[in-house]
């Protein structure tokens, strides 16, 4: 595990170094998780069913818990951001578990063509994170892989936004704070410009949530009566 002083400022070098240590230690597991994400995404988009929804929620819960425990608590620089990330990701993980039983979220591709294309584009960008990073000068292992905290958040926002209004607004709202924290990266923080994707996903999520808030509320009331 990468050891750093708690009071040390998070520098660009430290940021990418800790990512490199994390990737070296967990690459095998990350590959397995990425394959599972692709397979489940195929089923929820092409053959939606209660089983596919349940498995995707279980996977997302595991992925967020993994990042909370393994990335933020074991490998990340001790800082307010790592503590915030750990707590926030645990909350999101729990919310996805709860929705396995509540069944409020129904993953699917949107009916509207432009939203369908935006969903596919966002998810494609998730899996292109390492290649975009490489183009920006970040060579493995010091590069963002698809299911690290930021790409995972983009992935989850894309899925939940696509499902709206058949979503749990608590999950939606819990995903947005970490996404909006991508703004400093867009301005050059830690030389991680690929996280502009994260910030864009957050803005997109806010727009969808605002547009469909009333529909989500009505859908939630109907679900609660079941």
Please, which pLDDT band fits residue 4 given cuts at 50, 70 and 90? very low
Give the pLDDT mean for 48-52.
96
Please, which pLDDT band fits residue 113 given cuts at 50, 70 and 90? very high
**CB count, 10 Å around CB of 72?**
23
The C-alpha atoms of residue 223 and residue 226 are separated, in whole angstroms, by 5
The C-alpha atoms of residue 155 and residue 201 are separated, in whole angstroms, by 9
Cis amide prior to 141 (ω within 30 degrees): yes
Task: Tell me what pLDDT residue 213 has.
Answer: 83
Task: Tell me what pLDDT residue 223 has.
Answer: 60
| 133, containing H or E segment | helix 129-135
Residue pLDDT, tens place only, 150-166: 999 999 999 999 999 99
The C-alpha atoms of residue 121 and residue 135 are separated, in whole angstroms, by 18
pTM: 0.92
Return the domain boundaries, the chain. 12-224
What six digits make up the tokens of 196?
């502009």
């Amino acid at each position: 595990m990468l050891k750093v002083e708690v009071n040390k400022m998070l520098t660009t070098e430290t940021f990418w170094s800790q990512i490199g240590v994390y990737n070296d230690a967990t690459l095998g597991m990350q590959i397995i998780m990425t394959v599972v994400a692709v397979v489940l995404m195929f089923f929820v988009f092409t053959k939606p069913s209660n089983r596919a929804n349940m498995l995707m929620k279980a996977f997302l819960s595991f992925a967020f818990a993994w990042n909370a425990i393994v990335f933020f608590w074991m490998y990340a620089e001790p800082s307010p951001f790592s503590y915030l990330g750990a707590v926030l990701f645990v909350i999101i993980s729990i919310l996805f578990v709860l929705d396995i039983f509540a069944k409020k979220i129904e993953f699917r591709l949107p009916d509207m063509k432009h939203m369908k294309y935006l969903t596919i584009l966002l998810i494609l960008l998730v899996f292109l994170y390492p290649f975009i990073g490489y183009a920006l000068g970040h060579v493995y292992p010091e590069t963002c892989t698809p299911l690290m905290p930021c790409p995972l958040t983009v992935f989850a926002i894309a899925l939940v936004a696509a499902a709206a209004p058949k979503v749990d607004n608590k999950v939606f709202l819990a995903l947005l704070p970490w996404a909006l924290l991508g703004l400093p990266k867009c301005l050059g923080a830690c030389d991680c410009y690929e996280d502009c994707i994260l910030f864009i996903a957050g803005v997109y999520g806010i727009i969808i949530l605002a547009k469909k808030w009333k529909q989500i509320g009505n859908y939630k009331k109907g679900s609660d009566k079941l």
